[in-house]
Amino acid sequence: MGLMACGGSTAKPGVETGGETMNISGIARFEGPQHCTAFALDWGQDQAPAYALTSGHCVQNYSDPESVYQVVQNQPGQGRLVFKYDNSTASQQITVPVREIVYSTLNQTDLAVLRLEGTVAQLRAQGIAPLKLQSTPAPALSSVTVVGAPMGQYLKKIQCALGQRTDVTEFTWVWQALQANDCQGVEPGMSGSPVINRLNQEVLGVINTTTQDMVDTVTCYLGSPCEITPWGTAPQRQRAYSVPTDTLSGCFANGLWDVSQPRCTLPRSGPALTLDGLYSPLQNTLPGRRWQFAGTADANTRIKIVKAGSDSCQNPKGYQNYKDDPQPLIATEEGVYLACLQNETGLTT
């Protein structure tokens, strides 16, 4: 299924939401550019603007090749969040418009931050309880609950366990340190769902992609995300993945979003230098072909080409000045290769 974990349909009643005691009023169906799931955030500042979190691919046009690099900031909002979506009575649901897309990216991660109409206090006054993010990573095997709105269904719960963190590639995207899990039943529409620690009811991550309905067991194409490991790059059956949120508090100050905060590790801008043409995982590479880049490079631009699993872009070793070799050879040995670029604004892949 992969990035097809979004979509739209008419809701139908009768969906199991589980018997666990959990306040899910802050989790909503996101009816925006894609129909996904989103949830309101609680930073302990009730007079601050209301924000919600979802997946970047729910906000951006992920079929656009530029989505690999884009960092979207401060754009007019699209769509709405429908809270209390576990209720089949439309009059008891609560609709809140999206005022602004304050941040969204598929570059190295897959997150979007939405500013909603009103304040946190105004959400609470309507019976909506925003969710807190856990500030520390949870260990593997931690018990979690995923709550999301599949296509044609109301909110449902899935109980499962966390796995290890791993880099993942799907089509032309590379996402770093996603949290694997064994959650079964992640369906289209559940992108953006919170992964909730069952011990303290705090959010650990945001559902990003899955191999639930994987049909291709070889390539890292749409619908078959691959884990990047020292032993190779291959899809793993019956896995889902989430973007960890334990560092996201560094992007807020007094309840206000601020990506310029020193502790915010999200990409702040897209690269000035990009691949001139994106290479599909299904593409055979002939000897003598070279990487082609478009854009501008300055004296600080550095590059290295790595085979996924053998090296990583985060490893500072092996970089060289881009202008010394602006068209490096493309390796012919089978594998997934990354063009790693560094400049003053940070790392891009």
Domain boundaries, the chain: 2-257, 273-348
Three-state SS sequence of the chain: CHHHCCCCCCCCCCCCCCCCCCCCCCEEEEECCCEEEEEEECCCCCCCEEEEEECHHHCCCCCCHHHHCCEEEEEECCCEEEECCCCCCHHHCEEEEEEEEEEEECCECCEEEEEEEEEHHHHHHCCCCCECECCCCCCCCCEEEEEECCCCCCCEEEEEEEEEEEEEEECCEEEEEEEEECCCCCCCCCCCCEEEECCCCCEEEEEEEECCCCCCCCCCCCCCCEEEECCEEECCCCCEEEEECCCHHHHEECCEECCCCCCCCCCCCCCCEEECCCCCCCCCCCCCCECCEEECCCCCCEEEEEEECCECCCCCCCCEEHHHCCCCECCCCCCCEEEEEEECCEEEC
Predicted confidence at residue 218, as pLDDT, reads: 65
Predicted confidence at residue 276, as pLDDT, reads: 80
Architecture of domain 2-257: Beta Barrel (2.40)
Predicted confidence at residue 347, as pLDDT, reads: 55
Predicted confidence at residue 16, as pLDDT, reads: 43
Predicted confidence at residue 18, as pLDDT, reads: 45
Predicted confidence at residue 67, as pLDDT, reads: 83
pLDDT, mean over the chain: 87
User: Which parts of the chain sit beneath pLDDT 70?
Assistant: 1-21, 215-218, 278-285, 344-349
Predicted confidence at residue 348, as pLDDT, reads: 55
Predicted confidence at residue 20, as pLDDT, reads: 55
Dump pLDDT digits (tens) for 150-197: 998 999 999 999 999 999 999 888 899 999 999 999 999 999 999 999
CA distance 334 to 309: 13
